[in-house]
Structure 1
Amino acid sequence: MDPDQRVETLSEAECRRLLGTVPLGRVVYTEHALPAVLPVAFRVAPDGRLVLALRSDSTTARALDGTVAAFQADLLDPEHRAGWSVLVHGRTELVRDRAELAELLRDGPRPWVGGQTPVYAVLTPELIGGRRLDAAPAGVGPEPS
């Protein structure tokens, strides 16, 4: 990374590694022909797919079944104006395989809202990219209130 530049483009391997360090991200999909964004709990499966935990009564599950979606996860430090962000694009499908579903229900991510039995969607990454923003130089920070 150029010392004068604070933004670093991340490799796909680093993006995949960083995704495994946070439990929450945002899925971007189409609902009623409009873009929609929803925060979701997730995990990275051993095969590299993203497993998204959804409420069983959500319209999001239906909207994600067999479609292309985007997923973003990040970790940001507003005080130091630093952090990273990863964006994944790929096809999503609901988990219907009984064995896979049983395993996810046993130890998969849980939706942040609702105590119902979750529905799971998997996003198979096709495009992965990300950026890291290094801390701002001393004296550069948020404007005083």
Structure 2
Amino acid sequence: MALLASARVGRIVYTDRALPAVQPVNFHLHGERIVILTSSGSKLSTAVANAVVAFETDEYDVETRTGWSVTAVGRSRTAHEPDEAAALARLPLTPWGPGRDHYIVVEVQQLSGRRVPR
């Protein structure tokens, strides 16, 4: 969880028309929940509503050939409640583009990872 919390960009893996899809996103780890800010009505927000998704983030240093990778699996949902959305809006989560007003929350149920030592 500490490695996951240290990253700011990850990849969410979901199903799109019965095929696997991957999208890079910025995120914030809030407790044991991954919070992603996107646009309502976007392909991502529609595809991950109440779905089981995977989330991956990593770091790799080319010069030292060291790094780590973390994969989380859980059910995603939309933050519909006004109180929850207001609380998530206070998180240090900066959207990549304008018009981002839709919070996706992934409740982490499984977590795995590995370190690549020197």
- Kindly provide the CA deviation profile for residues 117-142 of structure 1, in whole angstroms up to 9, marking residues without a partner as x: 3311111111100000012xxxxxxx
- Kindly provide the CA deviation profile for residues 79-133 of structure 1, in whole angstroms up to 9, marking residues without a partner as x: 2211000000110001101011112223351332x21133111111111000000
Percent identity of paired positions between Structure 1 and Structure 2: 38
Greater Cα radius of gyration, structure 1 or 2: 1
Letter in 2 for 1:72: E
**Secondary structure of 1:20's partner?**
helix
RMSD: 1.3
Q: Which residue of 38, 44, 57 maps to 2:23?
A: 38
Match status 1:77 vs 2:77? no
Aligned to 1:123: 106
Aligned to 1:6: none
**Secondary structure of 1:109's partner?**
coil
CA apart distance, 1:78: 1.6
- How many residue pairs get aligned? The number is 118
- CA distance, structure 2, for counterparts of residue 67 and residue 81 of structure 1: 35
| TM-score, normalised by the number of residues in structure 1 | 0.76
Return 5+ residue gaps in structure 1 as ranges: 1-15, 136-145
Return 5+ residue gaps in structure 2 as ranges: none
Normalized per residue, the structure richer in strand is 2
